[in-house]
Structure 1
């Protein structure tokens, strides 16, 4: 299928009689992969194409979308709360949104924000923005007003689609930047003439999910959808080098920065994922499959895997607006029987401990895909036992669209590693002086490939500092590569704990301690110690009556002296990002260290 995309998209351009500008900037060439790179043998072993073939420079995501709309037509594209839309409807609705944005006087390259959970409006609006030639700015709806102010100002967002549940956040934002157009969506806007109003009524008056707000300048989503005919749409000239998405980092290492991802970056990563999937399933991945979309689409992992790739492949995306409602999630899974379940460790963990999950029918399940954070072996073991399939873990970041590496889909067991580099991706590990380290040694993971971002919005110095002299993106993650080319994440560079001159990695502590049945989840940081420099401290969400001493004794059995936790603190919950990553920065704040 990867080989066909070039011809199919070229055919669509010919049919539409459209002309695209020659690329104003040369799209990054494929990196040279050393012939002795250890992962090349793994490609051959697992039948994975080691390279992808990019389409010509005048191609854009519009060609991908048009191919999908024509190819899949009446097939279901997305399902949410019992309602669904077909690819044909997605084509029409997204063109209507694109026409509306163009009618506002917005032009190619203008930034348009989307601040909503996984509801049917999200793919309609997101595709509409990109089809208009504008740049999609994903905004976390759980942002505080302060966080939203930063992103609106930094991105230069000119229009914002926001679900009414979070409109108060926008109202209270001190700095609204360049925003001139506010479009407010209601949860039930696309759920039908009967169910939609009922859902909106319940959300507002029964569940009281809508705080009072005043945005007199705003317009409704229904107005935006119907204000301008799709026939008024003007297809923009776009190419691989044009920016399609401004994806802000999680902010776990400081102020959130916007990674500029081009049409070429996103197409490349889509093809890289396709190469992985086709090696295992060939034509078995099709429009009859349902892909669980519980992870928020505003997060880059879900945006690519559950959004871009799912649509390219013709799967039906099962949108889950609130994945924290595990009872509701399990009910939807039972009804639609997803073939693919992308999730983070937090969600996997929640499901395996939730009553009713083990009773589901997993006969349709083809793969469970872990990303966004490390999957703990104890969680992976429980998942495999219940579902009959291992979790296939991958690795990526906002700056790489996001996939950098993945495990082959046909592995028999959870590996505890992030896998091998994606096709046409070069990965090196370096020391503090940017020297490559040997196989089996620890080093910072650095990436070069067609999926790597153009740079950070408004941050030329940070962009320059993020790349090595050889042009590899420095991820800030510490890892090792074994002789077969498989990579294991050791930890974040900044999270390392220094005990008596020895490096201690929190991930290792957390993995070891999570084996205790009395620990639901945990997070490790270093705290000052006059004798040893730092001591490992473990924050624990416990189950049952487990005691601090019991866990300290367990740590002695699990870890060598300098690695074991010296302090235990029980908490009701751990601070997490919007996709479930444990925020060690917040744990350090709790200790008064930041």
Structure 2
């Protein structure tokens, strides 16, 4: 990118944080190089054809193979009659099929709806219906969930993949182990579904038609609780994501003033690609920089993860506080040679100073914290990548990004005063899918997104988060909304009243605690937890249940969560 730093007295007037920028980093983005993510993928697959693009379970796809496979997915979808703008859901962990499918959907001019594969039937049904998804790709391990709800949705095409589909002969063994030995595939029946391998074969014979995608077209419906209430889709355009990718590219460049640029950057992709952090930082960034992404399908299996880390010269490692902590508690992690690590990027939840200090001591690389949300594609701020230090802040606004700290009335506050962190920039979403009321709550008249996070800005332009405005609970980087947990708990006949709050947790940052007033005196903690487990994915489930005779209420009868938090 050939942009130069703007003169702070002209276009950048008021953006005092530019004085803290690394030398040579542009204050603003240049015009986008590509009109769509599909165009970016095509161009990079040509440019880096023979380089490894994605590796999973020992099998590697080159950029050429990745390009051909994603084109095949695109052609197959177009041949089914799906039209530009139709939504396609993807319910997959980090296996090779995942990026092939995601970027294939985008190349066809369609919209990706990322689905957490661990969702319960209730959660999946809400998301498929809300998005109006017409097609769905799912790994067979999660097909039984789909089978329970698909008939009540608009989904017409279901493609089922197996773990070993793209692993060659080794895939047969992998499938055998997954199905018969580990028994990870519950019984399912989806009449009329299409096997993934058939899609690949049919797609390879068809050609992709240019869908005429423009930067303003929707690329993803990224579901989030937003800053309030029920899960809704943040509408992210091609321009939103391409802008964020370019912003991070500018921000990464100064590293190479300090350290030698490797021939090819190796990224570890341990965060799920259905999460916006990995999608942009690993998926898009990795492709744009011609990098090699090592996909980790199950990062909870720490011994296997550590073994995988030992096979590659790792350069860029995005992760969460909980993940870094778990790795360091494995004795074999200390034996790894991580001297090539250029950037450890912490996001999704606060990085704790003791974890950051230990990581730096063990790897020689500081954890650099960034900040963002699904609604900001996601990165809005980041600490400098060229300075190896943990600051305890979320860093500086990225190029073309403004941060304003505002009070409840929407007035800008002086430096150092605590208020709501508001964000404006090309990475900010177009709004919530079919929810103008919810969009209006978070977007200001002058184009700032109200994050719901409370913080202040230092005179150097670094922002520090001190609290959250809403009652949202943050478990290992995932939003949990008390309303949803309470609604599920209230559907148990033995519960009279309940309230959910977040409590500190050494492992996940926060955990869900549920206070319950019994309707049935025989109700137990195990009953409540079992009921929640049926209806809520793992990270949303209450870790603690406390029974009370009554809950604190306002004079109009509203349960006061803040009193329960103490």
| TM-score under structure 1 length normalisation | 0.79
Q: Is the 8 A contact 2:131 2:233 kept in 1?
A: yes
TM-aligned CA deviation for residue 48 of structure 1: 2.2
Q: 2:155 — aligned with what?
A: 179
Alpha-carbon distance in structure 2 between the residues aligned to 1:478 and 1:2: 35
Relative to structure 1, is the Cα distance of residues 287 and 154 closer, same or farther in structure 2, using a 3 angstrom cutoff?
A: farther
Relative to structure 1, is the Cα distance of residues 205 and 537 closer, same or farther in structure 2, using a 3 angstrom cutoff?
A: closer
Instruction: Report whether the alignment pairs 1:100 with 2:76.
Output: yes
Relative to structure 1, is the Cα distance of residues 475 and 205 closer, same or farther in structure 2, using a 3 angstrom cutoff?
A: same
Q: Is the 8 A contact 2:74 2:203 kept in 1?
A: no
TM-aligned CA deviation for residue 337 of structure 1: 2.8
Q: How many residues align?
A: 495
TM-aligned CA deviation for residue 228 of structure 1: 3.2
Instruction: Report whether the alignment pairs 1:414 with 2:390.
Output: yes
Q: 2:207 — aligned with what?
A: 232
Q: 1:360 — aligned with what?
A: 336
Instruction: Report whether the alignment pairs 1:243 with 2:218.
Output: yes
Instruction: Report whether the alignment pairs 1:48 with 2:25.
Output: yes
TM-aligned CA deviation for residue 372 of structure 1: 0.8
Relative to structure 1, is the Cα distance of residues 211 and 588 closer, same or farther in structure 2, using a 3 angstrom cutoff?
A: closer
Alpha-carbon distance in structure 2 between the residues aligned to 1:252 and 1:163: 30
TM-aligned CA deviation for residue 176 of structure 1: 3.9
- Which of 235, 241, 252 aligns to 1:260? It is 235
Alpha-carbon distance in structure 2 between the residues aligned to 1:203 and 1:323: 16
Q: 1:518 — aligned with what?
A: none
Q: 2:16 — aligned with what?
A: 38
Q: Is the 8 A contact 1:92 1:230 kept in 2?
A: no
Alpha-carbon distance in structure 2 between the residues aligned to 1:581 and 1:67: 39
Relative to structure 1, is the Cα distance of residues 541 and 306 closer, same or farther in structure 2, using a 3 angstrom cutoff?
A: closer
Alpha-carbon distance in structure 2 between the residues aligned to 1:42 and 1:65: 33
Q: Deviations over 1:167-212 (max 9, x none)?
A: 01111227642100000000000001x2000000000000000001
Relative to structure 1, is the Cα distance of residues 199 and 252 closer, same or farther in structure 2, using a 3 angstrom cutoff?
A: farther
Instruction: Report whether the alignment pairs 1:280 with 2:255.
Output: yes
Instruction: Report whether the alignment pairs 1:333 with 2:303.
Output: no
TM-aligned CA deviation for residue 254 of structure 1: 2.8
Q: 1:200 — aligned with what?
A: 175
TM-aligned CA deviation for residue 59 of structure 1: 1.6
Alpha-carbon distance in structure 2 between the residues aligned to 1:471 and 1:591: 44
TM-aligned CA deviation for residue 469 of structure 1: 2.3
Q: Unaligned regions of 5+ residues in structure 1, if any? A: 5-31, 497-505, 511-522, 526-535, 543-571
TM-aligned CA deviation for residue 47 of structure 1: 3.6
Alpha-carbon distance in structure 1 between the residues aligned to 2:462 and 2:539: 25
Q: Deviations over 1:245-265 (max 9, x none)?
A: 111115785311101111111
TM-aligned CA deviation for residue 341 of structure 1: 0.7
Alpha-carbon distance in structure 1 between the residues aligned to 2:223 and 2:450: 17
Q: 1:436 — aligned with what?
A: 412
TM-aligned CA deviation for residue 225 of structure 1: 0.7
Q: Is the 8 A contact 1:248 1:258 kept in 2?
A: yes
Alpha-carbon distance in structure 1 between the residues aligned to 2:502 and 2:120: 29
Alpha-carbon distance in structure 1 between the residues aligned to 2:504 and 2:265: 40
Q: Is the 8 A contact 1:2 1:271 kept in 2?
A: no
Alpha-carbon distance in structure 2 between the residues aligned to 1:474 and 1:424: 17
Relative to structure 1, is the Cα distance of residues 60 and 541 closer, same or farther in structure 2, using a 3 angstrom cutoff?
A: closer
Q: Deviations over 1:329-354 (max 9, x none)?
A: 00000111311110011101111112
Q: 1:347 — aligned with what?
A: 323
Relative to structure 1, is the Cα distance of residues 582 and 157 closer, same or farther in structure 2, using a 3 angstrom cutoff?
A: closer
Q: 1:169 — aligned with what?
A: 145
Instruction: Report whether the alignment pairs 1:83 with 2:68.
Output: no
Instruction: Report whether the alignment pairs 1:209 with 2:184.
Output: yes
Relative to structure 1, is the Cα distance of residues 309 and 590 closer, same or farther in structure 2, using a 3 angstrom cutoff?
A: farther
Q: Deviations over 1:146-167 (max 9, x none)?
A: 0000000000100000000000
Q: 2:359 — aligned with what?
A: 383
TM-aligned CA deviation for residue 269 of structure 1: 0.4
Alpha-carbon distance in structure 2 between the residues aligned to 1:212 and 1:293: 30
Relative to structure 1, is the Cα distance of residues 537 and 224 closer, same or farther in structure 2, using a 3 angstrom cutoff?
A: closer
The ranges of structure 1 where at least 4 consecutive aligned residues each deviate by more than 6 angstroms after the TM superposition are: 580-583, 591-594
Match of 2:325, SS state, is helix
| TM-score under structure 2 length normalisation | 0.82
Alpha-carbon distance in structure 1 between the residues aligned to 2:538 and 2:370: 15
Match of 2:176, SS state, is helix
Alpha-carbon distance in structure 2 between the residues aligned to 1:254 and 1:267: 28
